[in-house]
Structure 1
Amino acid sequence: MNRRHFLATGALAGVATALPSLAQESGAIPKPVFPANRIGVSSYSFWGFQRDDLRAIPTCLDHAARMGFDGFEVLQRQLVSTDNAELQKIKRQAFLLGLDLMGYSTHQGFLSPDKEKREAQIKHTTDCIEQAYALGIPTMRVNSGTWGTSKDFNDLMAKRGIEAPLEGYTEEDAYGWVIESYKKILPVAEKCGVVLGLENHWGLGVTPEGVKRVVDAIDSPWLRVTLDTGNFLEDPYDRLTKLAPDTVLLQAKTYYGGGVWYTLDLDYTRIGKIMRDANFKGYVSLEFEGKEDPLTAIPKSLDLLRKAFAGS
């Protein structure tokens, strides 16, 4: 390197170093842009436990891609088979459609004094983690379960999700069962690289304090929160705010045509700000729960969520 070239490059480097500080002083550097959240859709939005013509996961994947979603959440109970060959077909189809398989929604219940029943639920949950791993899905929705003292789900919804404990037991017993169970489950989640998200989904999850008590007791990066916008029936915004910092997946309910069990008038612009303030950059997964035809209501829901989670 000759002297002239050295001086020229050195001068340029000095200017380049000075530019950021000069720009900052003049206010020329814009504030960082918060990216838009990617929007997915749960297979539950199509099937809803009642539309047999929209149960098949391949059918739901085709609709999701046609409608313009970024990702797809699989409801585990919707699968006809969990054989690995069938799971790989789903993964291949999603890849070819350009959809991320980004969530696995499962059911389990640990609110039972019967240790054998809890062990069976632990086995079911670890099996589900292995299924999510086979599908390449990075996060899985989990629950505390319910007491089972309601006649059925309709009865539970009539009670606004609040259920009496089994006779002779209390919520203190339930927290012990749930925490002990997830301590046994977490090593499998860590091995597979699947982040579990405890949802505010009835049982101990009926309040944000209940969800946080379990998550904080486990104190692991492999158990965080799946936050459902439609499961806090009173004071939803304050309650969503409490769980937003721990959220790894946001499930967003819409109710076009009126809700099947109830209808919430949710302000998604406000919810979008709550999640941005909590620095949430993950997926928003639509869970349509209205009476309108999902093939017309789901695209409207996507448009609503695109606007609310457009970033800043």
Structure 2
Amino acid sequence: MENNHKGSELAPSRRDWLKTSMLGSAALLAGVPAQAAPEAKKKEGKRYPLAVSTYSYWHFQQEKYPIEKVIEHAARLGFDGVEILHRQMENETIPYMNKLKRLAFDNGLSLPLLSIHQSFVQPKAEDRRKDVEHTIKCINLATQMGIPAIRMNTGSWRTVKRDANYYKDGKEPPMEGFTDKDAIRWCIDSMGECLVAAEKAGVVLAIENHWGLSSNIDYLLEIYKPLASSPAMGMNVDTGNFVGDPYPQFERLAPYATIVQAKTYYGGGHFYDLELDYKRIASILRKANFKGYISLEMEGKEDPETAVSKSLKLFREVFS
């Protein structure tokens, strides 16, 4: 009985020793101190996926910058995706589009956005119809390339020159005999037609604050909200396209954002200069629970070879 009693006293300490020994061995195998083994690894915060627009390398110069080269640069620098500017495409043939899709895939990159141009601020129904048809054609292009979203514009009256003053105040009077309310109705009706095709294709139409009518954020939301029930309706918020103080306006649009285009202006802007506080912008996006892509539009005069890299470094710091 005595020996059994002693054995029962030793059993717990033996079990404790075995437990400690096994934990220590596991910790040594993992290359960490034994006392650190039981601790759970801290969860890292979400990092927004970062894309680069092909526009960042072109800026509408006479000679188009090849999209293939942008994809290669993006992969080398460590971007997550490439936004394709429709006007920068070499052509619209299936072999060309398949080549871009395959090149992105081989380089581990997504193609999150196709940026197109159109205007629904046109008094003639036949002119609006042409841009509806253009948009539907671009939905088919996006589908072919596996691109899930298209950047959409409202359009503008084009009654004033696009100079430095315009980019400061965004003021643009309607054509004689018409009002901004007419243009808002045209945009809603035309976007509605495009959404029918977009829903079938599974492509999001992300309307942007892209000057013209959309310089007025109230107008932009007046167009967006009646269409928001469509699963294909989205919003692309551009950090550089606000008139006046950008942050309160950005805060209003952030809850609706499907994707964000973020501008930088290294070397001075081609059209205008802005000093944007991206830490503040990142805070607004987190508060709005934004989870999508942030796509760089480097719009400065500095060589993209250096300016795009600088922009990516900045975005990694603030959007991580």
Q: Tell me, yes or no, if structure 1 residue 60 matches structure 2 residue 76.
A: no
Structure 1 position 162, deviation (Å): 2.1
**CA offsets, 1:256-276, max 9 Å, x none?**
111112111101011001001
How far, CA to CA, are the matches of 2:298 and 2:62 in structure 1? 13
Is the CA contact 2:167–2:243 (under 8 Å) kept in the aligned structure 1?
no
> Of 198, 204, 212, which residue of structure 2 is paired with 1:203?
212
Q: How many residues align?
A: 281
Q: Which amino acid aligns with 2:50?
A: I
Per the alignment, residue 47 of structure 2 pairs with 36
How far, CA to CA, are the matches of 1:35 and 1:270 in structure 2? 17
Structure 1 position 59, deviation (Å): 1.4
Per the alignment, residue 50 of structure 1 pairs with 61
Q: Tell me, yes or no, if structure 1 residue 150 matches structure 2 residue 160.
A: yes
Per the alignment, residue 301 of structure 2 pairs with 291
For residues 188-199 of structure 1, what are the structure 2 equivalents within 5 Å? 188-199=197-208
TM-score (norm 2): 0.84
For residues 76-225 of structure 1, what are the structure 2 equivalents within 5 Å? 76-151=86-161, 153-154=162-163, 157=166, 160-219=169-228, 220-225=230-235
Is the CA contact 1:186–1:223 (under 8 Å) kept in the aligned structure 2?
yes
Distance 1:261 1:58, change over 3 A: same
**CA offsets, 1:25-81, max 9 Å, x none?**
xxx9999864110110000000111173x6111111111111111100000011120
| Residue identity (%) | 46
Distance 1:284 1:73, change over 3 A: same
How far, CA to CA, are the matches of 1:270 and 1:29 in structure 2? 31
Per the alignment, residue 270 of structure 1 pairs with 280
Is the CA contact 2:170–2:211 (under 8 Å) kept in the aligned structure 1?
yes
Q: Which amino acid aligns with 1:276?
A: R
SS at match of 2:290: coil
SS at match of 1:225: strand
Q: Tell me, yes or no, if structure 1 residue 280 matches structure 2 residue 290.
A: yes
How far, CA to CA, are the matches of 1:31 and 1:241 in structure 2? 30
**CA offsets, 1:181-228, max 9 Å, x none?**
011110111111111111001122102222111110113231121000
Per the alignment, residue 226 of structure 1 pairs with 236
Is the CA contact 2:115–2:152 (under 8 Å) kept in the aligned structure 1?
yes
TM-score (norm 1): 0.86
Structure 1 position 161, deviation (Å): 2.8
Structure 1 position 154, deviation (Å): 3.7
Distance 1:38 1:184, change over 3 A: same
SS at match of 1:224: strand
Per the alignment, residue 8 of structure 1 pairs with none
**CA offsets, 1:222-241, max 9 Å, x none?**
11210000001311110001
Q: Which amino acid aligns with 2:203?
A: V
**CA offsets, 1:233-253, max 9 Å, x none?**
311110001010110110000
Is the CA contact 1:129–1:192 (under 8 Å) kept in the aligned structure 2?
yes
Is the CA contact 2:50–2:79 (under 8 Å) kept in the aligned structure 1?
yes
Greater gyration radius: 2
Q: Which runs of 5+ in 1 are unaligned?
A: 1-27
Distance 1:92 1:234, change over 3 A: same
Distance 1:82 1:155, change over 3 A: farther
How far, CA to CA, are the matches of 1:207 and 1:271 in structure 2? 20
SS at match of 1:197: strand
Distance 1:158 1:244, change over 3 A: closer
How far, CA to CA, are the matches of 1:196 and 1:284 in structure 2? 16
Q: Which runs of 5+ in 2 are unaligned?
A: 1-38
How far, CA to CA, are the matches of 1:85 and 1:38 in structure 2? 28
Structure 1 position 156, deviation (Å): 7.5
SS at match of 2:284: helix
